[in-house]
Amino acid sequence: MHAKLISNINLNKICSSTLILLAFAIPVSTAATYIVLGIFLLFWILDNFKQPLKELTCIIKSNPVAMVGCAFFLMHLAGLFHTHANQEKILEAIQNGSKFLFMAMAMIYLKEEKNARAVLISFIGAMGLTLVLSYLIHISIVPGFIPVKGIPRDCYVFHDHIKHNTLMAFTVFVAAVLARSAKTLKARIPWAVFSCLALINVLFMVNGRTGHLIILVLLMYYFFSWGSRRKSIAAFFMTCLCIGLLSWTYPSNSLSTRARAVVNEIKTWKYGEPQPMGSSSGLRLEFYTNSLKLIKKSPFIGTGTGSFQASYRELIKDTGFKQSDNPHNEFLMAGVQFGLMGILVLLSFFFTQWRSAASLQKDEGILLARGLILTIMTACMVASPLQDSAEGWFFALMSATLFASQSQTRTFPEPYPST
């Protein structure tokens, strides 16, 4: 009896420790992310071997976020019956859908606040390392033994500038929330400084426009979530003024140059005409309009799991439009694959998260949870983060971390018979 209890507890600790390690691996390395995921899956199976669905079913029944997430995963499985995608794209789509199942699997080990906190701190630690290296890239003194990808005028580190800025934008928000909730000035200042340095990194050092947009949304939510409306408006406009002054002082910064590029690309875009490869915004508008045509052709059940690339190729054949394997919009991706029902289920997932966040016990948890939702929803409107390994697994793990407390408590057998 004692050996069995110890074994259960050890496997539980291994799984929770693996999730903490995963939080550090996601911002740093795709290869490391999948290695850690493999280790987690192995020990999850060992821990749940005798009753593989008991814990998972309990989580799904008791946690609304897990329930709707699993519904979206099941939609990926249902889409297999009418897809015409090749095997590679089907497996890729199932893996993307499995991120929603992973949330429920991870929640088993993140219901304890100390584990959830450790995951969050581990992620912040990885982003802190990324931030330091980004600044070193900017001043061209990165040690040669550290593999980085960016250059001084575009200082992304381990992932491309879109992923870097998406993750760093959320880091700005997390550090700001932790600064707000700190009980002493001594604890508040380091988080505030960290948040400001990360904000500068996102806006002025890295060219990821998705991150720029996310920052605007998160800043609005952060300031307007304060109790005092007058103070929050004043703080928001003061922050915007500081950002504007920095942009004016350094006109060649990434925020200004990328914003001007977006305006020019949208101005030159014409409906129904192929866009040049250099026009990022023009290509997105091209993908959006063509994706809407695909949804219109099959509005109820879509074209099936993993079918976007094949369906899009068939639609644009002999038109001169550029080929793409995703529409750079998660809602359109769901609509093409699963019809209008896919869009509704995905929207209901985010709505369930937002509503569930209100029942979290601490104000800090509510802010972080809703900040995560705003981060990923904003990214979903201009990119396909759920299809990406870094952003997708980041969202899955953070969702499990921030919403696991709403699940039922796991119980172990008592070491001694009760008396």
Average pLDDT over residues 82-98: 92
Tell me the torsion sign for CA atoms 57, 59, 63, 65.
negative
* The predicted structure's pLDDT at residue 14: 92
CA 179 to chain centre: 22
The torsion of the CA quartet 192, 198, 204, 209, rounded to 10 degrees, works out to -120
Q: Rounded to an integer, what distance in angstroms lies between the CA atom of residue 155 and that of residue 195?
A: 17
Check residue 201 and report its DSSP letter: I
Please work out, in degrees rounded to the nearest 5, the angle formed at the alpha carbon of residue 165 by the alpha carbons of 160 and 171.
130
What pLDDT, in 10s, does the model give residues 328-352? 999 999 999 999 999 999 999 999 9
* Average pLDDT score over the chain: 87
* The predicted structure's pLDDT at residue 229: 67
Q: Residue 319: phi, psi to the nearest 5?
A: -110, -15
Of all helices (H) and strands (E), which one includes residue 314? Answer: helix 308-315
pLDDT over 50 (residue 409):
no
Average pLDDT over residues 56-80: 93
End-to-end Cα separation, the chain, in angstroms = 17
Look at 125 and 154; give whichever has higher pLDDT. Answer: 125
Across the chain, how many H-helices and E-strands are there? 16, 0
Half-sphere exposure of 233 (CA within 13 A, CB side): 3
By the 8 A CB rule, do 53 and 47 touch?
no
Give the contacts of 206 (CB within 8 A, at least 6 positions apart): 134, 150, 154, 155, 156, 161, 164, 165, 168, 254
Average pLDDT over residues 17-41: 96
Give the contacts of 266 (CB within 8 A, at least 6 positions apart): 281, 282, 285
Please tell me the pTM assigned to this model.
0.90
Nearest residue to 57 (alpha-carbon basis) of 101, 19, 20, 26:
101
Confidence of residue 129 (pLDDT cuts 50, 70, 90): very high
